[in-house]
Amino acid sequence: MRVEGYWSRDTPPPSFLKTLGVAWGAVMARRRELYRKGVLKSREAPVPVVSVGNITVGGSGKTPMCIFLANALAERGWTPAVVSRGYGRKGAPALPDPVLVSAGDGPLVPWELSGDEPALIALESPAMVLCSRDRLEGAHEAARLGADVVILDDGFQHLKIRRDVDILMFQSEDHLGNGCVLPAGPLREPLSACADATLVCVVGRHVHPALERLAGDRPLFRLRPTPLRLKDPRSGASWGFSALEGVRFSAFCGIARPWGFKKAMAGLGLVPAAFKAFPDHCPYGPAERDFLEKLLRFTGSQALLSTAKDAVKLKDLKVPLLVLEAAPVPDEPEGLLDAVIAGLARHGGSGTAPDASREGSPGPADGAGPGDAGPAGDAGTGQGAGEWPLPETARTRCRLPGPLPPPGLPPEPAPPQGKVPPPRLPPEPERPQGNVLPSPSGPTLPPAVPSSWPAGSTGWATRS
């Protein structure tokens, strides 16, 4: 049995795992105590810092929370930057550090150089996004580029940087597993670390009493997982979920909690012909891509359905791909944001919310932050009209690979009226012809699954 099999309350871990868990928990508790006492120093960033993290392994909604905060703070007039370690990025030791993933107008580098989650944040928010092995240096770079607040992705255990707001994320369905520390249980460190949290956020339709007791007198906010729309990741077109009625499709994902994706589909009445769960942060190399193409053909599906996190790595997939966009929506978004801003205002004893004059288009008194260049260009950096209006520090310090692309992403097209077209892909001779999404006269279904296909032999579930 894999060690994860012992993490539930139903199966006690063996004694050797318990011993390792106790030892690792003692190390992590001692480390945090040394930071609390000032023996190990936390350094202050030049701007307020919000940390979004968790105490358990696996997904707990950190990336969606970073996206929510980046959008909400930008609407309030702040200039946010998200600083991430960039888990899973390729060639990280050889890359310059930090790497500017986005100046606020979409990704500047391929996802391989940032990791899938920073790439998704760059697509879904107006924040600057930086990847850095040393997140304190990343915060300094963000401030040099014009950010006035830093959102630290997965930062609860990153004690080197002092934070003004520490958000601790939980999934309501998991509670705390067996309550043991790795490798005996799902905890990254002992539960005593929760005392350092500023506020607690629980993703789920209910809050377990154990999490309420753990939060104590700290503010506790609930976020409900909410499916939003279907989207074509290539064209940006979006539709309601009814567009998949009567269409045969298969689904897959490479996330920490694949059962959450399956539950979202079931809640919408969407039943895939087959489902495949890949490991979290799966890079989707040639073997996985070949599997997905065969999955579509052998199950007689007309399209594949996945998550936004997976889609950032598969825009060149050679089969029709749709995304089920979903996000945890706070029950009290204004209350959550007010609690965060109240903590930011205490930064250095003098931090305040930005002026309302900074909202919207900047005036002459505003600094030339990323993307703030008039028709005549930025006289301070010598950039003329039509050039990328990015501060020179982004070019020299972050050393982006290759020339900088023009700013902005293509605007999202309006939802099509009437008949919904298929994703724009060249036809393949072996794939049945017909619409990916239903036409008014009903979908054109491909032939049934070949009887020679060994259903269930590849580790994924199918239905007829």
Q: Distance between CA 200 and CA 86 in Å, rounded?
A: 24
Pick from 80, 183, 77: which is nearest to 129 by CA? 80
pLDDT at 454: 35
Q: What is the distance between the alpha carbons of residues 191 and 284, in angstroms, rounded to a whole number? A: 35
Residue 413 token pair = 């097209």
Distance separating alpha carbons of residues 242 and 268, to the nearest angstrom: 9
Going from the N-terminus, what domains does the chain have, and what CATH number goes with each?
A: 3-15+40-218 (3.40.50), 227-327+426-451+458-462 (no CATH)
Q: What is the pLDDT of residue 176?
A: 81
The helix (run of H) or strand (run of E) holding residue 329 is strand 321-330
pLDDT at 163: 93
The two three-digit tokens of residue 70, written as one number: 């980046």
3-state secondary structure string across 128-143: EEEECCCHHHHHHHHH
Which stretches of 76-195 are assigned E, i.e. beta strand? 80-84, 99-102, 128-131, 149-153, 165-171
Mean pLDDT by 10 residues, the chain (464 residues): 73 88 96 95 95 90 94 96 88 76 93 91 96 93 96 94 95 81 92 94 87 90 93 92 93 92 93 95 94 94 96 92 93 95 80 44 37 37 33 35 36 46 43 40 36 37 45
Strands 99-102 and 128-131: antiparallel
| Nearest Cα residue to 150 out of 134, 164, 160, 170 | 164
- This prediction has a pTM of 0.74
In the beta sheet, which residues pair with residue 153?
A: 52
Which SS3 state, helix, strand or coil, does residue 200 take?
Answer: strand
Cis amide prior to 406 (ω within 30 degrees): no
